[in-house]
């Protein structure tokens, strides 16, 4: 296990519209364009599948480089998350030795996937490890396949999320989820997977309707997804591999 905590700083960001659930915001204070300013720091949990089984829908494009591409996307995601000033710690949950070595070197705390029962149990396990170490921080689950992620866009989402017990950001299609957050004291209940956005909505989480965070919404499962992410600007590791696949 590798432990590293990243320093928290305040970040500048613009207010965004929020689809409101049936509860009030968790905090109040000075308002900036409709979003309450908050100093909340976040522990970000990122689950990474064993690379040999990751991103099967990219097999036709990547061939034998599929595992390397999956690791490159995870590394670019972790790098962007670690560079986000709202993030106090990045926790990666994985049983893959190559992913552990690469992502811990980028500043992540890596924990083994002890449940070994799929995506959401892995997220819950990582969240428990984070809460034990940083109990005053909010906890967020982030997809590992966001190779175009920009730290400032993640900061906008986390600033908006800080006002709600639970919140989420849907993917570009509006059906999946790329980010789920829970404030301190709120149970962390991840519901990632196909159709997850509807499950978060039904569970009362606030849907953050952020107009200018395209990199946060651009997860990559297919070649078309990778092309769309490339249009936003890929992270350096993914960009190198993607160029070789053309």
For 195-242, what is each residue's pLDDT tens digit? Answer: 999 999 999 999 999 989 999 999 999 999 999 999 999 999 999 999
pLDDT computed for residue 4 by the predictor: 37
* CA distances, 79 to each of 76, 92, 143, 194, 207 (Å): 5, 12, 13, 26, 25
Segments in the chain below pLDDT 50: 1-37
Quick one: DSSP state of residue 193? S
Judged by phi (left if over 0) then psi (alpha if -120 to 50, else beta), residue 174 lies in left
- SS3 label, residue 231: helix
What are the structure tokens assigned to 18, written together?
């929020």
Alpha carbon distance 43, 96 (integer Å): 21
**Nearest to 7, CA basis, from 75, 80, 89, 78:** 89
pLDDT computed for residue 47 by the predictor: 98
Please classify residue 36 by burial: count the beta carbons closer than 10 Å to its beta carbon, then call 0-12 exposed, 13-18 middle and 19+ buried: middle
Domain covering 40-244 assigned CATH 3.40.640.10 in the classification: no
The number of helices, as runs of H, and strands, as runs of E, in the chain is: 9, 10
- The packing angle between helices 236-244 and 66-83, to 10°, is 160
């Amino acid at each position: 296990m590798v432990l590293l905590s990243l320093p928290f700083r305040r970040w500048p960001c613009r207010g965004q519209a929020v689809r409101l659930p049936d509860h009030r915001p968790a905090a109040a204070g000075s308002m900036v364009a409709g979003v309450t300013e908050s100093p909340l720091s976040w522990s970000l949990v990122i689950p990474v599948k064993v690379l040999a089984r990751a991103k099967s829908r990219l097999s036709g494009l990547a061939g034998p480089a599929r595992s390397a591409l999956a690791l490159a996307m995870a590394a670019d995601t972790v790098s962007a998350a670690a560079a986000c000033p709202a993030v106090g710690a990045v926790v990666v949950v994985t049983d893959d030795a190559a992913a552990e070595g690469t992502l811990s070197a980028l500043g992540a705390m890596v924990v083994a996937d002890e449940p070994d029962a799929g995506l959401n149990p892995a997220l819950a396990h990582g969240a428990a490890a984070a809460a034990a170490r940083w109990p005053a921080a909010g906890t967020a689950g982030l997809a590992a396949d966001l190779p175009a992620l920009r730290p400032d866009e993640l900061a906008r989402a986390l600033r908006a999320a800080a006002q709600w017990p639970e919140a989420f950001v849907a993917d570009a299609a509006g059906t999946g989820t790329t980010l789920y957050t829970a404030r301190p004291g709120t149970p962390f209940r991840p519901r990632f997977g196909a159709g997850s956005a509807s499950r978060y909505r039904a569970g009362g989480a606030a849907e953050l309707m952020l107009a200018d965070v395209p990199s946060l919404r651009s997860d990559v499962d297919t070649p078309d997804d990778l092309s769309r992410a490339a249009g936003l600007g890929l992270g350096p590791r993914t960009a190198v591999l993607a160029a070789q696949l053309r």
